[in-house]
Every structure is written in C-alpha cells, then in structure tokens.
Structure 1
C-alpha cells in the first residue's frame, strides 16, 4: 500500500540528522550585570535579542532578570567581580596595606603615580617596618597591582615623514664629510624641551574608577646637549625664563655645571645659539683642536656662522629621528635619569600636599 504524504513527512523528519545543541555558556557575574544593564537602557533589547547576544537560552535570560537585585548587589560587594582576594596573612601583608592606603590617598588628590613612584614608597615603608629582605621587585609590583585590582591608564615625540632615500644618501656621504677628523673631534648637538615640573601622564589606578590627573605643568626649560662620538660631553646649555631664578639663591650662576641663559619663552634663539657656539670655539682654540659638529637645520641654528675651530654640518630636513645621534637614545636616557630623581623628590612630598597642582610647585 502506498504511503500517505503525512507518513512520508514523518519518515523524513525521523531520519534527518538531529539539530546541533547549543553549547552551555556560563556567564560571569560581570556579564550577568552587563546583560541586566542592556535590558534597561534604551533602546531596550527583548529577551530573544539578549539570548542571541550572550549565547544563552531565553529561560536563562528570564532567570537573570528576575534576580537582578541579587546580582547587582553581589557585583558591588565583590568589587565588580574583578578584585582578587588574597589572605591577609601574606608575607608582606602589612606593607601591602600601607602602600595601598598611601596610594589611595595620593590618587584622591589626582596625583599621577607611576610604578617607579610606588617602588620608592614601598622601599620607604619596608625600612619603617624593618623588612630588610624586601626588594620592591617588578614581581612584587605586579602581585600588588593584582591584589588591589590596579591598572595602568593614560591620564586623559616628534613625528614626521622621513625620506629614507635622503637618509641613505646622507649616510653614504658621511665618510667624506668626517674625513680628516679624529673620532674624538666629531660632535653632535641637539636641544630638547624639559617639562621639569610635569607629573607622569599615565597613572596606576583602581580599575573602573575615574582616572583623573591634575592640571598639566607646562613650565619648561630648553636643554642643549653636545657630545662626541667617543662620549666626551661639553657643558650643556640650559635656557629658562628668569635671568636668575629665585631657587638659585646666592649661587654664582657662572659656576653652575651648565651654561645658564634666559629669555621670555625659554626657547633657543639665534643669538643664544651663536653665543654658545662661540664659547665652544674659544675653548677649542685654547685646546688647539678643530672639531666637526653635526646639528639639525632649525631656524635658530644660523647657517651663516663660521668659526676658526668649529665646523658646522647640517642634517637634511625631517631626518632627525634616523640620523641625529642624540635623538636615538641619549636624550631619552638623560630624561629618564631626571625623572627618577624627580620621582624620589615627589615621594618625599606627596603627604605634604593637598592636590597634584600643589605638588608640582614643590619642584
């Protein structure tokens, strides 16, 4: 007897492959709270849309929404499910708590705190607690950050298109340019801006807390450096705004380890540059040396200068990042050392100030 259409339909249904099962998805507490928030904000998502978005069944979505108060409360109590729990009886438990308490007070003043600052403060606490074996290692810092759910955030170099062909062409010409000079007589000079009061623009902060910093301290100095290919360093030129800053006190400016100059904007000018190079030429004349100085073609570096014992050679435009030796790590090393000394100074003064802007004035 021939099969009826209904029987054929049933047979096809019974013999076809089963539909794939949905993989079980266990949402974290954070995801559940996020789902609840999605269900409340406009435009509201339906339970079907929520189930597709989070890869769970509609019944699970319904259950989560019914228990929204419970999940929100748990999320708040557990530091938004991110803060890790450690036993309070850890080896450096007292030190960790002291550092975190100090850290929280400093961040309440919107003071940016780098890992280096936390290192310095931890070492201070270790001395007070007689923890002689404590080293404030990078491993300790990572562990401390995880313990208190601390992240590294931006508080809300030069870049230019480099003509590689010009760079390569100039490199090919360098041997002929330096011909006749000993390595000790080949120098490079370059200036850099130093925001000497600027706090870090990134800070450690508790995750999911607002990340604020104080007003950016924009006071700057211009520092001109000059060194030879064998490491000889000439006296740096430092340009500030005041002819004799109040902090100099009774110091004889002429006896500073740097050559101090000033103008209204603390910038390099043609007159200042000419005076500085002239002094170098006089020194080389006394030493009976003839030196070659490579420098960039900034407008303040006058091109019409000639000296008896100093020869100036200008680098091609927009090639500083590739050809300027001082810009390939030396200036950065100087600033890193300055920042380290500054951080030590800040650590000593954080407790004495009420806000980040007050801290910068102490520099």
Structure 2
C-alpha cells in the first residue's frame, strides 16, 4: 500500500471517529488531493506522475485496506428532521415504562480539542504556521462529557491523549487528576476505551450518585452512533438501559451538543488566556511566547477541569429541552452565552497585546472539529510510524486495515 492510500485510511478513520459520512465521490476527491500534496512534497522528478481515482482503483483500495465489508454511517449535514420530531415522544414513553426521573436519565458525548491552539491572527499562531517540524496548534485530544437531565450531576470528563505518560505528568498520580486519563495513538475514543470507561467509571459514579439521592440504581443512558459506542452496551450492566438516538439527529437532539460543548471550549480558551495573563503579570520578564512554549498537557488538564466546572446546573438541565422537555425547568437560555464568554476572551487578548477579534475566537472554536488536511495526515502518519516502530512494530507491519481494527476502529465505507 502506497503513502497516498495510507494517508487516505487515516483520513477515513478521522471522518468516522467524528461520525461524518463519506461517499465514493468524496473518497476519490480526497485521494486526488492527497496525491497532489505528496507530489508537491517530492518536488522535482515527480511532475510526470499521474493518478486517476477510478472506481477500479477504489475497489482495489477497499480490498487492500481490509475495509471491503464495512459501511460508514454518520450524521447528515441537515439532520433528519422527521426522526428528530418523533423520537422525543418515544423516549418519553420509554422513560415512563422504566420509571425513571430526571436524575436517572443521562447523556454523554465526545469532542475533539486542539488544546494548544491560538486564534489564527495572533503572532504566536503565525509563527507556529511557518515553523518547521511539529506544530503546537495541531496537538489534539478527545474529551467525553456527560451529565443527567436534572443538571445536578456532571460526570468526570474522560480525556484520551496520544501518550500514556507525557513528561508533564511525571510524578503525578493520574487517579488524582480531574479527568479520567486514557491514551490512544490517535487520541480517539475506541470501543475498548469506551467499554472500560463505562464499566469502571460511569457505572460506579452513577451508582454512588443514585445512593446519595435515595434513588434506586436504575438509569437510562442516551447515546449517539459514534464509532466508539458499543452496539450492545446494555448487556454490560442490567441497571443501565442504553437508548440510541436515531441516525442523523445528533446535532438536533443530543443534549451535550446543544451548546454545552461549545460553551466549554469558550471557557477553556478564556481560562487559558487568563492563565497566560496572570503568569506574565507576576513575572515581568516572562513573555507570552515564553508562557506558550511552557504550556503543557498538565496545564491543559487544569483548564479543562475549570471550564467544565463553569457549566451551570441550569444550563445542563436546559439543554434537554428538545429531547426531554418534561424535565426542563424555567430555562430561558444559558446564564452566560458563548458570545459573552467570547467577549471575555477578546478583552483578555487585548490585555495580552494580541490581535484578537470576536470572529477570530469564533473561527478558533469552530476549528476544533475541522477535517484533517493533507499536511496534518502526513504529520500524523509520521508520528504513528515512529511510535509503532518503537513500541509494537509487528502490529504496524501487518497492514493498516488490521492496524485500525485492532484499536477499535470498526467503521465502514460505502461505495
């Protein structure tokens, strides 16, 4: 399998991880763009190389990648309005049948976070863009957030990072962190990670919460069809009934997607700017660039915990308005909107002498869900090869199809 096809598999895995559907036409177009990027990287001598992403090539690619028997399912751009309008009533009936109250109905959802990224127009972001080697702005992790419909119980966030033991956590017991720390070479939530988190963290935490409320340990968990969510999770614990949202309704119905995650990311950026401001104020010899160079994953974990703590109970209850309106109290919007937090970020940016406007912050917040570029994929493959050759070379050289399968990528390609 050549470099273009290896990068294409990385791209497909990333699309699937973010439950974005792909078609034959999209795959062919991405393959052509990757070919051009690789061709440009080679420089002189590659001008005569040509590539036609034909259907015959695609069928061969599927077979070589060991993806011939699978099919991608993800969120449609517009969402399924009809399913979204009927599902809440069905869920209400199920909740009645199960005898659950707002405290016993939960939802969790994943999101990516570029934990060390500045707004594009700042001088630090410009410098990172032109610097050779690893770019700090591309350092991504995955977080899983969740809570109940009453809004009075937030789960400890699950954080999946590329490294199990980064230098910044040396000497720190991970059990004391304000997140559940797990690692994966691509920083994704795999089936194995989700299953372990469910059994070792979700179930014990929710059980203790129910006991503290004098409620029976009997809960309902609402999930979307993300690739890391097992299809038969209800079999893992008879006290937890799992209900899956209809396909293509996540953006329309899922509580954690109704501005909770967007609000968290705004708070995270604000907290990071505040940390930078405080550090440079205390030490007049410390420049913002110095601070940013020293900003590490442990600092990011602290700011993640702060940002998650900022999510208020009224907000976490109100976001169930579309899915379970019967559980929502007097909700008239977030106590502090994403726009309001954005203004706070801009104000701090000005104090740090950064060229930051509200639209720059909005662009940055949106970028956390952006598609990996050809440059990103080339860098990611390089990191994976280096890490796999050191740790598990026998798995890597078995082939990329098996490589992804072994790590919980059970995604499927339509064609």
TM-score scaled by length of structure 1: 0.50
TM-score scaled by length of structure 2: 0.44
Q: Relative to total residues, which structure has the larger helix share, 1 or 2?
A: 2
Computing the radius of gyration over CA atoms, which structure comes out larger, 1 or 2?
A: 1
